[in-house]
Structure 1
Amino acid sequence: MEFVEATSALTARLAAGNDDLAAAGAICLAVEAWKHLAGEDTAWDRFGLEILNVRSTFYTHYDDVVVDTTVPTTASTHIRDAVRELVSQLARYHDHRALDADSALSERLDHDAAAQQLRRAVAALA
């Protein structure tokens, strides 16, 4: 599957509902984009700092999640837009989790912080 196609599929899954596996896949693709595009543009470096922090807080137990896709090799506008949309949707996922009244306050605050970090990551690519 092509990278942009994979980001679109995961964006749609996240938009459809509370999908923890899609969220893990989204963080996986975001990290892959950062790993392959950092250095070309400092925006990707700033993006990566935010993404890595969210990954270390929420996604370490999903290390075995792999999205079978090509890797981006150049930072085209099309790839940047796809990654921004994916991470924006992931931020909305964490916003939703932050409002879950069945979760402990500390967990809700962690999700709120993650959503803010993800929005900063998106802003770095704007």
Structure 2
Amino acid sequence: MDYIEATKEVCAGSADAWDDTTAAGAVQLAIEAWKRLSGTDLAWDQFGLEMLDIRARLYADHDDVVVDAAAPARDDVETRHAVATLVEHLARYHEYLAASGRDDLARRLDHDAAAQQLRRAAAALA
């Protein structure tokens, strides 16, 4: 499956229907784009730093998640849009978790902060 198709497939479900494995897959897809495209524009470096921090803080327990998709072929409008859309879905997932009341206050604040951080990452690609 190519990269754009993979991002669309992950985004097909609404963010409030995601689980941690789907979210970890989205993080992995976003990081793969950064790995492949960093160096072409400083925006990718800013994006990558945000995504690596999110992975380390919230998805360290999901190192075994693998996404079977080709790396993005080039840094173009379509790729940036796909990555930004993916990250926006991930931000909505974290907003949902922050508002759901399932976790304690500290964890809900982590999710809220993650949503804001993910939006900064997506904005870096605009």
Fold match (TM-score > 0.5): yes
Find out whether 1:31 has 2:31 as its counterpart: yes
TM-score, normalization: structure 1?
Answer: 0.96
What is the deviation of 1:21? 1.4
Q: Which amino acid aligns with 1:43?
A: A
User: Do 1:14 and 1:23's aligned partners in 2 also have CA atoms closer than 8 Å?
Assistant: no
Task: Report the secondary structure of 2:103's partner residue.
Answer: coil
Q: 1:19-55 CA distances to partner (integer Å, 9 max, x unpaired)? A: 2211010000000000110100111001011111111
Which residue is 1:118 aligned to?
A: 118
Distance in 1 of aligned mates of 2:29 and 2:87: 9
Q: Residues 16 and 98 (structure 1 numbering): CA distance in 2 closer, same or farther, change over 3 Å? A: closer
| Percent identity of equivalent pairs | 54
Moved over 2 A (4+): 13-16
Q: Residues 60 and 19 (structure 1 numbering): CA distance in 2 closer, same or farther, change over 3 Å? A: same
Segments of 5+ residues of structure 1 without an aligned counterpart are: none
Once the two structures are superposed, the pairs formed by residues 44-59 of structure 1 within 5 Å of their partners are 44-59=44-59
Q: Residues 16 and 95 (structure 1 numbering): CA distance in 2 closer, same or farther, change over 3 Å? A: closer
Q: Which amino acid aligns with 1:125?
A: L
What is the deviation of 1:60? 0.9
Distance in 2 of aligned mates of 1:30 and 1:7: 9
Once the two structures are superposed, the pairs formed by residues 1-126 of structure 1 within 5 Å of their partners are 1-15=1-15, 17-126=17-126
What is the deviation of 1:116? 0.6
What is the deviation of 1:121? 0.2
Segments of 5+ residues of structure 2 without an aligned counterpart are: none
